[in-house]
Structure 1
Amino acid sequence: MISLTSPVRTSAHCWPAGAKLLGLCIATAMLFAIDNLLVQGLVFAFVSLLYALPGKAFLFAGLRQMKLLWLFVFVVGLWHIWTAEYELGASIVLRMLSAVGLANLVTMTTRLSDMIDFVKKITIPLRWIGLNSQVLALAIALVIRLTPVLVERGGQLTHAWKARSTRVPNWRIISPFTVLALDDADHVAEALRARGGFNSLEEI
């Protein structure tokens, strides 16, 4: 598993995780309340500036982590071109890029342990209804850490397909991808059991 926190230090690395996550929630809500295309464009330009300010290394690292988003941008843009809803399509694309870009900035400038600690604190009241906040925090951590691993697995299967066939990769890679995902899940489960399982979380 890998960490998504950027090794390039910025001033945002020192900000509290709770403040950044709260700011992300507010900013995302405001993005969906904005209907003006020009304002959406200005917000996207501001988000792009936030990536560029720490330097090229930080900018390129951010772009690499957002590479999966470009497929959705292409599909949404193509659909709205097909339906001749150009302004609506541009607004949706800009809103999506800005929202995901801000979320990615928070991930890049916040240690996973800090986010887990914050989630534990704000979900303590949920223990009254039987929800283990520590298990929830661990689940969030696993999703954040393992998603890039699954993406890498998919890329490896795609490259393997291209090395053996001239045809474009299709649905046939779904089966081996599922097997690899289940195998990774089994390894993680074994690691958790070796450390005492979810019961060991009570000691954290």
Structure 2
Amino acid sequence: MLTLTSPVETPLHRLPAGAKLAALAAFTVVLFWLKSPVALALALGGVVALHVPWGAAFTTHAARMLRPLWPFVAVVAAWHLWIGEAAAGAAVILRMVTAVAAANLVTMTTRLSDMITVLERLAAPLAPLLPPRRLALAFALVIRFIPTLAARMVQITEAWRARSPRRPGWRVLVPATLAALDDADQAAEALRARGGAE
């Protein structure tokens, strides 16, 4: 499994994880209050400005993390152009890209262990119903597996294209699902070997 934390050290890495997550939550709420594409574009510019000072490698890595978002951007843009509401579509796209870019910035500058610690503290009131450690572990596994599953999907798609002139489409879903289940089984075995989530 891969880590999403950037290897490029920045001053943002030294800020407390709780403060960054709280700021992200507040910023996201503000984004959903904003309706004007101009205001949303300024918000996106502010997020970009937080990336640029840390160099080309950091900014390029952040841009690569946005790649899975572009199909959704294309669908939203095509739909709003079709119904003749370009301004509303621009607002939706800007809000979506800004929110994901801000979340990526927090993820890139915060160690997963620090985020888990914050989540455990927040989940403490749920302890009688759900052990906070298990909830935090589930959160960590989801974050860690996202890039792994994306890379596995790319490998399966490339393998299909190497063997067939047809577009892979839905045909890769079954092997991708089986690969995800296999990865999950291996992770479960590794957890059991280390004493579980307790």
Question: What is the alpha-carbon distance in structure 2 between the residues aligned to residue 140 and residue 177 of structure 1?
Answer: 21
Matched letter for residue 57 of structure 2: A
Deviation string 1:29-72 (CA, Å, 9 cap, x unpaired) is 00000011110111111112222221100011111112101111
What residue in structure 1 maps to residue 108 of structure 2? 108
Question: What letter matches 2:13 in structure 1?
Answer: H
Runs of 4+ in 1 over 6 A off after TM superposition: none
Instruction: Spell out, residue by residue over 1:63-88, the C-alpha distance to the aligned partner (whole angstroms, 9 max, x if none).
Output: 11121011111111111111111000
CA distance in 1, matches of 2:164, 2:46: 43
State the one-letter code of the partner of 1:18: G
Q: Secondary structure at the match of 1:8?
A: coil
Structure 1 residue aligned with 2:60? 60
The count of residues paired between Structure 1 and Structure 2 equals 198
Deviation at 1:126, TM superposition (A): 1.2
How many angstroms apart in 1 are the aligned matches of 2:52 and 2:163? Answer: 39
Report what 1:48 is aligned to.
48
Distance 2:47 2:71 in 1: 20
Equivalent residue letter for 1:185 = A
Residue equivalent to 1:89:
89
User: How do 1:129-144 residues align onto structure 2 when only pairs under 5 Å count?
Assistant: 129-144=128-143
Coordinate RMSD, CA, aligned: 0.9
Aligned-partner Cα distance in 1 for 2:99–2:73 = 13
**1:168 aligns to 2:167 (yes or no):** yes
Match of 1:197 in 2: 196
C-alpha separation between the residues in 1 aligned to 2:167 and 2:154? 13
**Equivalence for 1:185:** 184
Report the CA distance between 1:130 and its aligned residue: 1.8
For 2:52 and 2:159, locate their aligned partners in 1 and report how far apart those are by CA, in whole Å: 34
What is the distance in 2 between the residues matched to 1:167 and 1:51?
40
SS at the partner of 1:6?
Answer: coil
Q: Distance in 2 between matches of 1:114 and 1:145?
A: 14
For each residue in 1:152-184, what CA deviation from the matched residue of structure 2 results, as whole angstroms up to 9, or x when unmatched? 010001111111122222111101001100000
Measure the CA separation in 2 of the matches of 1:162 and 1:89: 34
> How many angstroms apart in 1 are the aligned matches of 2:89 and 2:53?
28
Give unpaired runs (5+ residues) of structure 2.
Answer: none
Return the letter of the residue paired with 2:163.
R
| TM-score after normalising by structure 1 | 0.95
Counterpart mapping for 1:144-163 below 5 A: 144-163=143-162
Normalised by the length of structure 2, the TM-score is 0.97
Alpha-carbon distance between aligned partners in 2 of 1:150 and 1:27, rounded to the nearest angstrom: 29
Q: C-alpha separation between the residues in 2 aligned to 1:190 and 1:166?
A: 38
